[in-house]
Structure 1
Amino acid sequence: MSEDTAPASFTVAVTADAARQDGSSIHGDLGLHRLTDKGIQWRVLPTYTDPIPPADLAGVQAVLSLGHISFDSRTLDHTPDLQLVARFGAGYETIDLDACTRAGVVVTNTPDAIRKPLATAGLTLLLALSHKLLAKDRLTRTANWEGREHYRGAPLSGQTVGIVGFGSVGAELAKLLVPLGMEVIGNNRSGRNPEASALGVDLVGLDELLERSDYVVLCAALTPATERLIDASAFAKMKSGAYLVNIGRGKLVDTDALRDALRSGHLAGAGLDVFEPEPLNPDDEILSMDNVVLSPHSLCWTEDFTRDVSAGAIASIIAVAEGQRPSDVLNPEVFDTAAFAAKRRRKAAVVMPAS
């Protein structure tokens, strides 16, 4: 990838699902001034539409995707200037990587930046469940102190936590759990993780993990293979009285089966930051359950989350604008495609016009 002298005529579109027209965001300061400082133009898209109408991306070289906008051939086949989709976060299940590669579009995300905030979000839900925090909060607010004897906390030391999708976030969560005296086991597609052995984490099959765990934490990415991974048969394999924490994606869980497991008492409780659908329907039974702790897909939204995720996404944009390879590329094979080379040549022609 050749280095250009300046990001001339490089424009970034920011998705309107989480940003306002002035560049402010529900996440906080996105650091868009760093683009301006580099001479890179940016604008927030006029509306939140999924997929983005190709007309809205005319003359746009990069998209800062703040949420889960779809990028597939419907958009990519009609956006000849687009070179980069920079995901604000780690998940990319709505992005067709093969279609992006064919179209010469680089896709990046920010996995390192979400590692600690998401791990602490998982710990927060686990601790809230083990201490019956939601029920005790309600007892206190209603001056019903007599009811506290019915909400004794569950133990932590000596209990087993099974992390489904044991990757970087799972490893970070294990670092927080092991000092509490908890045994951590994990499961992932490859059956390997370089951090697992150092942390004393055994990687086991999913069935074994479900059968052994007192707490099951979902960190897995959403793929066709993991959709509804935790269904009625999976709940049946879990210990009676176990807890479920989901900080991955709502579609990892069969919501009907989850309700049944909670209603029957087989599952002692659940801590959920993600749902299917999002938001839940107002009359969903889950919303009224005392043994469920809920957060609106935002528990990891901390100041350091916004700072580090935005820094990573902005760095990717600047790198592509300046002709460099960014970090955390999800489709590195794109750099060898004729489509990407053609887009770089067009940009070079703009930067250095023929005399």
Structure 2
Amino acid sequence: MSTPAPFRVAITADAVRADGSSIHGDLGLGRLSEAGIDWHVLPSYEDPIPAEHLEGVDAVLSLGHIHFGEETLAAAPDLRLVARFGAGYDTIDLDACTRAGVLVTNTPAAVRKPLAAAGLTLMLALAHQLFAKDRLTRTSRWGEREHFRGASLDGATLGIVGFGSVGAELARMAAPLGLRVLGNNRSGAHPQARELGVELTGLNELLAASDYVVLCAALTPETEKLIGRRELALMKPSAFLVNIGRGPLVDTDALRTALRQGRIAGAGLDVFDPEPLLPDDELLSMENVVLSPHSLCWTADFTRDVSASAIEAILDVAAGRRPRNLLNPAAFGVRGAETAGAAAAAARL
């Protein structure tokens, strides 16, 4: 009786080196080795992944935003799982994956607290004009500090667009600061809204009433450029916009104009469109903008929890189990993932 081939995992090369070390820190790849799973880092970063790099690959651990569409999936008949390192999956065609029987998982619970903390960090930095005051101090311009007075948090209104798990965590963190919190999402409901004292309302009402607007929404065709010229015009001139969701949620040209003309007080951005920013982008020189290179939530607990969740999904599929955080449950069993995984697991016992 022949021994089944080991479960093979390919790791995208956008954030991992050939030896498995990562810009995020220890990913816990040793757990895969201990389970008898073969893993390797792809030889180069290419998007989409070339077909020859997916030959014989059962799962891809995608650390960035690699595209998975019909052509890629058709050229990868052995592929059973795309495990996303993080919550976003806007570059993955879920319908195509479901038709092909390829499972897709993400790690929403693991990013909840770090991402909410990132949103709060940008809010606080904007409220206190932290980076403008940092520059004053570094350039010995103490005499100008009277022109950089902070904004109030106590009694101010925080509007969270895309009120889901991250938004709920942000509301929980903001509660001790005395903020009134409004929320907006597609369903108009959230199980924790009442408990957290969050009033769910329409987008227009939220924008008009809020002193701080934080974008936590997922990027979909419906949410692309959700915040454009019209929406920015609804905001108070004293209000701040924070984006920790995805860059294309905002019409960047409209945002530059609003900031330049003082239609809003400032912006805190961890995500951009395009990304990375071009060296001559006007946002880079604006005093009322706080910027972070899509990494503000990268903390030790982020790496620990996201890695553990993604690795657990791979271990589950390799053993024939249905993984947690499965985004397309209808795909389970289409390619016989659970049968092949169970057989391979039994052979290793």
1:275 corresponds to which residue? 272
Q: Tell me, in whole angstroms, the C-alpha distance in 1 between the residues paired with 2:346 and 2:24.
A: 37
1:260 equivalenced with 2:261 (yes/no): no
The runs of at least 4 aligned residues of structure 1 exceeding 4 Å deviation read 343-353
2:104 corresponds to which residue? 107
Q: Gaps spanning 5+ residues in structure 1: where?
A: 1-5
Offset at 1:54? 1.3
Q: Tell me, in whole angstroms, the C-alpha distance in 2 between the residues paired with 1:159 and 1:193.
A: 22
1:182 equivalenced with 2:172 (yes/no): no
Ranked by relative contact order (alpha carbons within 8 Å, sequence separation 6 or more), the top structure is 1
1:312 corresponds to which residue? 309
Query: Residues 26-45 of structure 1: matches in 2 within 5 Å?
Result: 26-45=23-42
Offset at 1:7? 8.7
SS of the counterpart of 2:126?
A: helix
Offset at 1:336? 5.2
Offset at 1:350? 5.9
1:207 corresponds to which residue? 204
Superposed CA deviations along residues 319-351 of structure 1, whole A, max 9, x for unmatched, are 0001111100000111253xx22x555556666
Offset at 1:8? 5.2
Offset at 1:240? 1.4
Offset at 1:65? 0.3
Equivalent residues of 1:8, 1:39 under 8 A apart: no
SS of the counterpart of 2:92?
A: coil
How many pairs are equivalent? 345
SS of the counterpart of 1:176?
A: helix
Q: Gaps spanning 5+ residues in structure 2: where?
A: none
Over aligned residues, Cα RMSD in angstroms? 1.5
Cα distance, 1:126–1:85 mapped onto 2, change above 3 Å: same
Question: What amino acid does structure 2 have at the position aligned with 1:176?
Answer: M
**Aligned with residue 249 of structure 1, among 243, 246, 251:** 246
Equivalent residues of 1:7, 1:38 under 8 A apart: no
Equivalent residues of 1:7, 1:321 under 8 A apart: no
1:54 equivalenced with 2:31 (yes/no): no
Q: Tell me, in whole angstroms, the C-alpha distance in 2 between the residues paired with 1:123 and 1:64.
A: 29
Q: Tell me, in whole angstroms, the C-alpha distance in 2 between the residues paired with 1:346 and 1:11.
A: 12
1:298 corresponds to which residue? 295
Q: Tell me, in whole angstroms, the C-alpha distance in 1 between the residues paired with 2:42 and 2:325.
A: 25
1:93 equivalenced with 2:90 (yes/no): yes
Equivalent residues of 2:15, 2:22 under 8 A apart: yes
Cα distance, 1:347–1:304 mapped onto 2, change above 3 Å: closer
Equivalent residues of 2:11, 2:63 under 8 A apart: yes
1:133 corresponds to which residue? 130
Offset at 1:118? 0.2
Superposed CA deviations along residues 152-203 of structure 1, whole A, max 9, x for unmatched, are 0000000000000000000000011111000000000000110111001011
Q: Tell me, in whole angstroms, the C-alpha distance in 1 between the residues paired with 2:71 and 2:338.
A: 22
Query: Residues 164-175 of structure 1: matches in 2 within 5 Å?
Result: 164-175=161-172
1:122 equivalenced with 2:119 (yes/no): yes
Equivalent residues of 1:14, 1:42 under 8 A apart: yes
1:161 corresponds to which residue? 158
